Structure 1
Amino acid sequence: MVVSRREKWVGNALLVLLMAVTILPFFTLLITALHPSGTYPSGLEIPETLHWENFAAAFQSAHMEKLLWSSVLIVIGVVPVALLISTLAGFALGHLRPPGHRWIFLAFLLGLTLPFQGVIVPLYFQMRDFGLLNTRWAIILPLIGLYMPFAVMWMRAHFVNMPQDLSEAARMDGASTWALFSKIHLPLSMPALSSLAILLFLWTWNQFLLAVVLVDDSTKRTMAGALGAFQGQYGTDIPLLCAGSLLILTPTLIVFLVFQRQFVSALLQGAVKG
């Protein structure tokens, strides 16, 4: 397919425009965070003196080290378990296809339409009855369940596209179902698993609603969930609030930049197979 010079120019211009729209909010936060603490910056005016100490003040005042540790614990509790369950379920639905797998698939498909906001009230009372309110388990357990529809659908789509010849050859060599999964299908599913792990990490790290509603102690929330308490404490100090917001966004940005190639390659692989 031959692309004309005009089409190529228009495409590049649209990409540059989209990149500018994406970067502008982060640039605005950075410029605002560099103003003197306690001031009210207007627009994108760059201050005469850049106050980088606002980041250190925000880190110390909000106890970012505790928030960082809490977010790490929540991610460790959610991501590995969600990956394990969704991989096993995706292999069963996409490759083994037990009786009733179409109805199970439909149930997970309907689960994709369930918003977090629609279950937050029942979740609150359920966590209260279990005695888990104001603990990290009140965030970890619901997130594992709420991520299952998407995670299972993601892994099922991968296993459905796996060649049947591999499984038939392994069966002829006497491979059991577990050996078929662990030695053949699982190694070949690393791109799909890695991209799913990145998505689950980003969603868990940035989880705000469940952390705010189910946990009162800000040091037991995710970093994004603690932003609510941080905003209430420093709502009138705009530069300090912007500095804290950038500190919270930094880990997710680093993870995405480091693993963006794996994520994009998994998406392209799925597009080619589909």
Structure 2
Amino acid sequence: MKGLTLDAALARLLIVVLMALTLLPFLSMFSAALAPSGSYPPGLAWPADPQWANFAKAFEVAKMDELLLSSLLIVVGTVPLSVLFATMAGYGLAKFDKGRGRWFYLVFVLGLTLPFEAVITPLYYEIKALGLLNTRFAIILPLIGLYMPFGVYWMRTHFVNTPKELSEAAQIDGASEWKQFWLVHVPLARPAIMSLAILQFLWTWNQFLLPVVLVQDPLQRTMAGALGAFQGQWGTDIPLLCAGALLILAPTIAIFLIFQRQFVAALLQGAVKG
């Protein structure tokens, strides 16, 4: 670390330590997944005869292809509508920041403090009364509502920081409020919208509680929600269970690697503008 100050060297060392602590559980799961089926891996130890077929077996017995389709259907049904509603509501609250608009905004902010566990029981009976229990709509519709507080807060933060001169110039050109929103503000908000979509994709894909409580059929849950059923069936086969868990994690890791710049931008935008 020649040429680095002590603070910079300590910062880099801390990053390396945190990376090691983050990767250690994944490496332990990966080594356990390669152990012989039915054995009990001792921990972070590379097996003498890696069983790569465990991944193929886990993919087959867990019916990962059907789970992947189910997760995609839930994501497609949840994320676009949630982002659309949050963008429109965030723009409206940013434009009407005074009076009633501020009270509406406070309601959404209070929604940020509401955990999923606090509403799961009344939500169950509400979904049952609507006749949607054990369907994918039992996951999609609640998630759209539960994502609203954060989504509205996120998008309002962006629109509040947009220069008012843009709207004034559009008004002079004769643009209606609707055209100002779609033709001026939405294109400028594309980074914020993309960041919100990525975050909600990850949250939806990794959603565990709602699918387990509201849907009995594992093949209509998210991949993370189906892990409970997979664990109940193969809980004694640690290598197969670890292989299945890694297969479920693979899509989220791939999405993060593909959109890592947008993901980091999402965190930085929230830190700077929040």
TM over 0.5: yes
**Aligned residues of 2:157 and 2:273 also touching (Cα < 8 A):** no
Matches within 5 A, 1:98-137: 99-137=99-137
Amino acid at match of 1:114: L
Amino acid at match of 2:23: I
Q: Kindly state the Cα deviation for residue 173 of structure 1 after the two structures are TM-superposed.
A: 1.3
Deviations 1:62-90 (A, max 9, x none): 10111000000000000000011000000
**Aligned residues of 1:158 and 1:270 also touching (Cα < 8 A):** no
**Aligned residues of 1:33 and 1:240 also touching (Cα < 8 A):** yes
Runs in 1 of length 4+ with deviation above 4 angstroms? 269-274
Map of 1:257 onto structure 2? 257
Map of 2:231 onto structure 1? 231
Q: Name the stretch that deviates more: 231-240 or 91-100.
A: 91-100
**Aligned residues of 1:81 and 1:144 also touching (Cα < 8 A):** yes
Deviations 1:24-71 (A, max 9, x none): 111111000000000011121211111000000000001011100000
Map of 1:151 onto structure 2? 151
Amino acid at match of 1:64: M
When residues 203 and 266 of structure 1 are mapped into structure 2, their CA distance, relative to the original with a 3 A threshold, is closer
* 1:162 alignment partner, SS class: coil
- The whole-number CA distance in structure 2 between the counterparts of 1:270 and 1:235 is 39
- The whole-number CA distance in structure 2 between the counterparts of 1:248 and 1:143 is 20
Count of residue pairs the alignment pairs up: 272
Map of 1:268 onto structure 2? 268
- The whole-number CA distance in structure 1 between the counterparts of 2:228 and 2:61 is 14
What is the alpha-carbon root mean square deviation over aligned residues? 1.4
- The whole-number CA distance in structure 2 between the counterparts of 1:162 and 1:60 is 50
Map of 2:246 onto structure 1? 246
- The whole-number CA distance in structure 2 between the counterparts of 1:141 and 1:50 is 43
Amino acid at match of 2:48: E
- The whole-number CA distance in structure 2 between the counterparts of 1:136 and 1:268 is 33
Q: Kindly state the Cα deviation for residue 267 of structure 1 after the two structures are TM-superposed.
A: 3.7
**Aligned residues of 1:66 and 1:219 also touching (Cα < 8 A):** yes
Amino acid at match of 1:143: L
TM-score (norm 1): 0.96
**Aligned residues of 2:67 and 2:223 also touching (Cα < 8 A):** yes
Q: Kindly state the Cα deviation for residue 169 of structure 1 after the two structures are TM-superposed.
A: 1.1
* 1:240 alignment partner, SS class: helix
Q: Kindly state the Cα deviation for residue 97 of structure 1 after the two structures are TM-superposed.
A: 3.5
Question: 5+ residue gaps in structure 1?
Answer: none
Map of 2:94 onto structure 1? 94
